[in-house]
Structure formats: C-alpha cells, structure tokens
Structure 1
Amino acid sequence: MGSDLTVSTDPAEVGFDPARLGRIDRRLARWVDDGQLPGFLVTVARHGKLVHVGRQGFRDVENGLPVEEDTRWRIYSMTKPVTSVAAMMLYEEGAFELGDPIAKWLPEFAEPRVYVAGSSQRPVTVPATEPIRVKHLLTHTSGLTYGFHHQHPVDAMYRAMGHEWGSPPGADTAEVCRQWASVPLLFQPGSEWNYGVSTDVLGRLIEVVSGQPLDEFFEQRIFAPLGMRSTSFGLREGEDVESLARLYAAVPGRPGGAPTAFAPMDAMGAAAHSKPAFLSGGGGLVSTAADYLRFVELLRRGGSYDGGRLLGPRTIAYMTRNHLPGNADIDTFGRPVFAETPLRGVGFGFGFSMVIDPAKYGVLANVGDYTWGGAASTAFYVDPVEDITVSFYTQLLPSSTLPIRNYLRALVNQALVD
C-alpha cells in the first residue's frame, strides 16, 4: 500500500459494486450538508487494495479550509491499538508475562485500594485482593477509569485532580500514573470491564520496560518501519497548524434547525499543536488517513508490512479475540459508560473490541470484525472474514453524537457483491 491515498484498483476486481460504494459518501455527506458534521475522510480497502476514498466538507469550517488527503487528525483513542501493539512487541521479546503484576515496574501500584462505598470526598475502600496485571491494562479490566464518564464517585476524584478531557499542566507520564495510583480502583482487578486510563498506564509500562520515552519507542519501532511520517504526539516543531483539522464539539440544535450543530473547541484543540508533557498512550497521537491506513493494514496482514514484520500473526490473532471471561460481551461484563455503538454482542481483546455475535450486535457485520475509535468520532475496523479495512476521520466531540460507526459497517458490507 502506497504512502498516499490513490485508488488504483477497480472495486469490481475485489468484489465491490462501484455504484453501491457511492452510497457511503452520499450518506456521510448528508450529515455535512445538514450541518451536523464539519467534514470527513473515509477509506475502504480489500485484500490490501484501496478501492474507495471519500472526502467532503471542511477541516476548518470558519476559515473555509477543505478536508485534504493529508489533513492531520487528532485520533485520540485510536492511539490505544498502537500502544497495545507496542506492548505486545515487548511481550514477544520476553520482557514480561501477561500475568505479571504491573507493580514490578510501577511500584506506585503496589497496594491498590478498591472503592466500595461513600462519596468522592469520603470514599470507603478495601485492599485489592488481586494485583493489577499487565493483561488487565490491555483489556480495560484493571479498575482504572476516566474522569469524563461522570458515572461514579471515583470518576469525580479523577476530575478533582485535573483529569477529565486533559491532564494537569506540566505533569508528565510518570507523574499522572502516580496520581492515578493514589485514587481507589472502581472494582477488584479482573472482575469487570471499564473504559479508562489503562492504556495510558500501559504506555508508561512500555517506557520503563524499554528504557525509552513512548514517543521514541513509537517512532523507532513502529512509525519509521511502517513509513508513518505524519504521526506523532502533537504536531512537531515547525509543522503547519493549518494542516491539523479544527476540533469541534456538538451543541444542541435550535428549534426548527438541524438536530445538532457544532462549535469550535479551540482551547482543547490547541493541546495537539505541540508535543505535550504527558505522552498519552491512550489518546495522544495525531495522524493522517494514509499513515493510519498503514497501521491498520499491518493488523490485517497479521503483523507484517512491506519491509518486514512487527508482530507474529498468532500474536495479532490473540490480541483480536475476546478476552472477557466466559466469552461475555461488554454489555454483560462492563460498566454502563457512553459508547457510540452497541456493546451487546461485542467482546474485548488487547486494545480492540470485536463482534462476537452479529445478531445480538444488531449491525450488519461478521464475527471477529475488530475495531476501535476516538473521542472526536474517528474510527477504523478490520473484517478478517471479508479481508477488509475501513477507516473514518472527522473532528467532532463526543463520538456518540452521530451513529457513524454503525452506518459505516452497513454501507461497506452492502457494497460487497463477491
């Protein structure tokens, strides 16, 4: 796959009906035309051949700057699969076992307490009966959470420390981990699923185990080999801020107007204009569609790329299987946090969710289709059954504003005729 987004394959050659592929852009464009989405870029590939690139609207509505193929996007939680791949590269080298307590490298997590009752001001806690293990970070079963959930007294403790949609000014990765370790866990490690800062802690673990800052590890071990030249923690020095799409947040529509509209979030968006102190393995990267497509294609190919291999195919297969006990879905095993897509019929592996029951999921999809998305409504998925990769980019918070990810699966799958 090349470094750009040039479609060089007739979709019919790989089983797509070109006319039906056109439905993808038409449906997405309706959100742009209705004033609900600033702009978008979408890619569809099969058997490693790019068959569709659609883009419409603006990366900066107010200044009339269109979405370009080389537009940079804050991919937020689409950073998590990169961090998970990095961790499993170290695992393949024998750096740790999946059952190892993380306190071996991060001693601040040596004696976690678990919330059982009380308020955020006066929590009642008990000692953890099980240490937080590496596998708990990879599967979001650690008991760590996010401040932005607004679901639990522990979330409020995170917010009180400055952890909601950002982190305390000047605090580096080591410091934010120490802060999280000082707060009770939501539950006993391994007993439930909850989306939280687990992958950020995993990023810190990678730093300690490898002896490298996370940005250097990513650059040397993942981005340079894959040719991902435009992916980094925030913009690099000297890079054009105008190349980065403006960040927007949904606002309630006025009576008689569009159901939702959006407004710039420039203060929050400016965090990506330079390299931050806290290298967030859970959400800190900016990237382009072409760059991230190289990473997604690495996954589809079982860890190999044109010049070599980052992971073994069995490792990728292990990462993308359901690791929730008893093959449970997130809806059953997890906490009721916000999510754009249904969590029924969806399991979780190492950095990815995957469809385990398409009928229960309620979306046209295949068993084993694995995915993740970002807070600003970006998303990707890999369908191993059909050998497809799909990626989508925009900059609209929160990701639950529009049901983009469900529509994408239906629109792509309806275009498959062979």
Structure 2
Amino acid sequence: MRQHGSAWPAGLLAAVALIQHLLAGSQTAFAAEAPAPIPEKLRLLTDFFEEEVASGKLPGAVVLIQQHGRPVYLKTFGVRDIKTGQPITVDTQFALLSMTKPITSFAAMMLVDEGKLSLDDPVAKYVPSFAERPVGVEEVDASGKPTLDFVAARRPPTIRDLLQHTSGIAGDYVTGWVRSVYLEAHLFDGRFDNAEFADRIAKLPLTQQPGTFWRYGHSIDVLGRIIEIVSGETLYHFLKRQLFDPLGMSHTKFVLDTPEERALMAEPLPDDTLLVELEKARRLHPEWESGGSGLVSTLVDYARFAQMLLNGGELDGKRYLSRAAFDNMTTDHVGPGSGVGHDHFYFPGDGFGFGYGFAVRTAAGEMRLAGSIGELKWDSGSGTYFGVNPKLDMIYILMEQVDKERGPIRDSLRKLIYGAFPSDP
C-alpha cells in the first residue's frame, strides 16, 4: 500500500494492517458510488500538520481518513510529549474530553432501545434531588442592577433533554449569572463519584426552561449517573461490557492502570495552560467516571466506534442499536420548528442541528462549510475531532492534545479533508 505516491512508513504499515483487520467487512451501501480522495490533495493535509508541529503550535497529532472501511490516509505527526520526545503513534492515548459524550449518549440509547429507559422519563425518577428544581431568571431592577430571581419549571427535565442538551443544566463556560453560580458551587472540590456529582448539579438552578434552549454543560455527566442506576453497574463497567469489549476498544478507559499505559499518554504543550489545568483536574479525580469528558482512547479504538456509527449502529455483523433508534439518535431535534433556541455558545455551529449526542449537518449554512447533509460530527476541548459522512462512506478522526490552536486546526482539517475529494460532496 502506498500513501501520497511514497511508501508508508514501516510502523504505519502495521497500524494500517491492524485497522484493516479490525474493520474487515465494514463497507456500507455507498461504497460503489462514493468518489475517492485525490492523493495530491491529501499531501496538503500532511503539509499543514507538519508545519503546525514545526512551528511549535502543536506537539503532535495523528489523522485518519477511512473510506469503505479502509484507511485512505493515516499519518502521525510530532511527539506525544515534548519532555520525553517520544513520537506520536497510533496507540498513543488521548484525553477525549467532550468526545466522551457521543459514547455515553450511545450507551444511554442502548438502554432506551432495550426498554430499560424512556426518553420521556424525568431525570428526577433516577436522581430524586432533581425534583422541582427552579429556573433562574435574571431581572434588572429600577436602578439597572441585574438580580437573580427564580421561577417554577414548566415541566421537569427528561432523559431526552439530557441527550439533546436542553435540560437547563449548564457549565461555567458561559457568562453572567450562570457562570457565577457554577463557579461558586465548587463542583470539583474534594473526592466525588457520579452519584455525588449528579447531586451537586441538582442543587443548582436550571438555567433555562427544560426543552426550550440548547445549552452545553454537564447534562451527559448526569446521564452517566442514570446509566449506572438503570444498569446496576459503574459507568465504565457498563460501557466495557456493552460497547468496548464487543467493539474491540480495549484501550478506551477512564483511568490508565499501568505505567506502560500512562507512558503512551499524549501531553499538551506546557504553555497551553487551560488544557494543562483541565487534564490535571481529570487525573486528580480517578474516582469520577465522567460521562461527559472523562475517557481516554486511541485512534484505533475510536475508529471502531466511528465506523459502527457509519454503518448505522452495526459492525462485524453485530447490531448495537436498532435502526429506528439509531435514526432517531442521528436526527436533528433542535432545528427550526422545534421550539429550541440557542445563542453564540451553540457549539454544533452553522449548518448543523443536534441529535442525541452528535451534531447533524442539515444545511449548507451561511458559512457554506465543506461537507454533506447528514454528516455527524463532534469535537472536544483537547482538540480531538471526528466526523462520519454516509454520502462519502467515510469517517475522519483527528487525535491531538491542544486547546489554543484547536479552532484553526479543526477548520483547516475539515477544509483540507473535503478539498481532497474530486467534487463538493
């Protein structure tokens, strides 16, 4: 096999062989008609990441484009840790941060599919401290000073709300009173597990009426706790039994157990201070199996999950989610006519709606980003990014650990990947 007109490096040959073996028989119905990428255009992707590493903006990365169940581009760049100089490899471990959310959301939909959980169940059915939570409303008094008032929720938040981020649960990334309330709650103090964390969140007011506003935050962390309650297992053991073991995702965990595993961990640049602090906080709480941001994984493992999504919830002859449940999960539920509002913190972005755990491409959008209607995608605060494009029968995955440059890198990655195909898909 050759890449960009030159031989694959020996280490990547083994990785390609492994991925091909793991994904044998994964081709979808679009395989015969989807155009292949142009090798010369893929070289631009290599040039871009080599320059990012050479200029010191990025310690290292690994990029996969997989079409018809086979890698058409797989390349590693730079190092996983500038202190050791150890190179990025396909078995390098990366903190997924918010790319944990699609996995936890999928696991919850498996319980819905089995009839063990209902999308319309109130969150308080499983976490009673969520009962009758008020909604915070900022008012301005006669002197122009903002004050926080509370009103009753018109209905309780549900499992569906958790999945589509319309629960009213937020995080401290926003501004104003919401940020103040979340920071003042000291959610991450001391030791805590999913049960304790869900109760801490439940003590805070909802930030919008349930079902009316897309707001990113800790909804999927609460969902992780509900998975534990319904399954009778820790979140990791449920994920391991239902997804990781069957899919062959043996390196996807909340905690790396051995020195050998920890030596494979990618590290951010020391001056990437926000990500350094986020990763430090994640490692300080090994007892917290965060369904929203806690997993670490490898390129090979996440490719298994992404390929299963491309196949409509099935891989290697095993179906993980019924077609009806999968279609519901990957349908936009927050677009026009849904009654759901959003602001500039709407992370799916221009042209994308949101299903249960993924952004779903619904339109060209004002920015007319490259891509296809029906594409699924998500990314994270550590720069990891993946997409699933049924029209091209293709998945793409970027694994890196960077916050400062992740926006420009993500945008360039998308442009270069789609620019490599012979026509606008």
TM range (shorter): 0.7 to 0.9
CA contact under 8 A between 1:324 and 1:349: conserved in structure 2? Answer: yes
Displacement of 1:273 after TM fit? Answer: 5.0
Structure 2 residue 279 is the aligned partner of structure 1 residue 269: yes
1:132 counterpart (144, 147, 157): 157
Name the aligned partner's letter for residue 176 of structure 1: F
Name the aligned partner's letter for residue 312 of structure 1: S
**In 2: Cα distance, 1:389 partner to 1:59 partner:** 23
Match of 1:336 in 2: 344
Match of 2:256 in 1: 235
**In 1: Cα distance, 2:338 partner to 2:55 partner:** 39
Match of 1:382 in 2: 388
CA contact under 8 A between 1:83 and 1:282: conserved in structure 2? Answer: yes
Structure 2 residue 36 is the aligned partner of structure 1 residue 15: yes
**In 2: Cα distance, 1:248 partner to 1:338 partner:** 27
Name the aligned partner's letter for residue 297 of structure 2: S
Q: How does 1:9-158 map to 2 (within 5 A)?
A: 15-117=36-138, 123-147=148-172, 149-158=173-182
Secondary structure of 1:284 counterpart: coil
Displacement of 1:194 after TM fit? Answer: 0.6
**In 2: Cα distance, 1:194 partner to 1:202 partner:** 15
Structure 2 residue 210 is the aligned partner of structure 1 residue 204: no
Name the aligned partner's letter for residue 202 of structure 1: L
Cα 1:291/1:275, change in 2 over 3 Å? farther
Cα 1:118/1:379, change in 2 over 3 Å? same
Displacement of 1:127 after TM fit? Answer: 1.2
Match of 2:28 in 1: none
Cα 1:118/1:248, change in 2 over 3 Å? farther
2:297 counterpart (269, 287, 303): 287
Name the aligned partner's letter for residue 279 of structure 1: E
Match of 2:420 in 1: 415
**In 2: Cα distance, 1:266 partner to 1:370 partner:** 28
Match of 1:159 in 2: 183
**In 1: Cα distance, 2:285 partner to 2:259 partner:** 12
2:400 counterpart (390, 394, 397): 394
Cα 1:131/1:268, change in 2 over 3 Å? closer
Match of 1:404 in 2: 409
Structure 2 gap ranges (5+): 1-12, 25-30, 141-145
Name the aligned partner's letter for residue 66 of structure 2: A
CA contact under 8 A between 1:151 and 1:337: conserved in structure 2? Answer: no
Name the aligned partner's letter for residue 370 of structure 1: L
Name the aligned partner's letter for residue 157 of structure 2: I
**In 1: Cα distance, 2:197 partner to 2:135 partner:** 19
Displacement of 1:312 after TM fit? Answer: 1.8
Displacement of 1:175 after TM fit? Answer: 0.8
Secondary structure of 2:119 counterpart: coil
CA contact under 8 A between 1:248 and 1:397: conserved in structure 2? Answer: no
Match of 2:315 in 1: 305
Cα 1:3/1:350, change in 2 over 3 Å? farther
CA contact under 8 A between 2:275 and 2:382: conserved in structure 1? Answer: no
CA contact under 8 A between 2:91 and 2:299: conserved in structure 1? Answer: yes
Match of 1:278 in 2: 288
Cα 1:266/1:206, change in 2 over 3 Å? same
CA contact under 8 A between 2:376 and 2:387: conserved in structure 1? Answer: yes
CA contact under 8 A between 1:355 and 1:361: conserved in structure 2? Answer: no
Deviation sequence 1:35-54 (CA, Å, 0-9, x none): 11111110001111111112
Cα 1:3/1:289, change in 2 over 3 Å? farther
Deviation sequence 1:134-180 (CA, Å, 0-9, x none): 11000001111112x141312222212224xxx22311111111111
Secondary structure of 2:263 counterpart: helix
Match of 1:296 in 2: 306
Match of 2:366 in 1: 360
Name the aligned partner's letter for residue 183 of structure 2: R
In the alignment of these two chains, the number of paired residues is 396
Displacement of 1:191 after TM fit? Answer: 0.8
Name the aligned partner's letter for residue 181 of structure 1: A
Structure 1 stretch displaced more, 79-88 or 109-118: 109-118
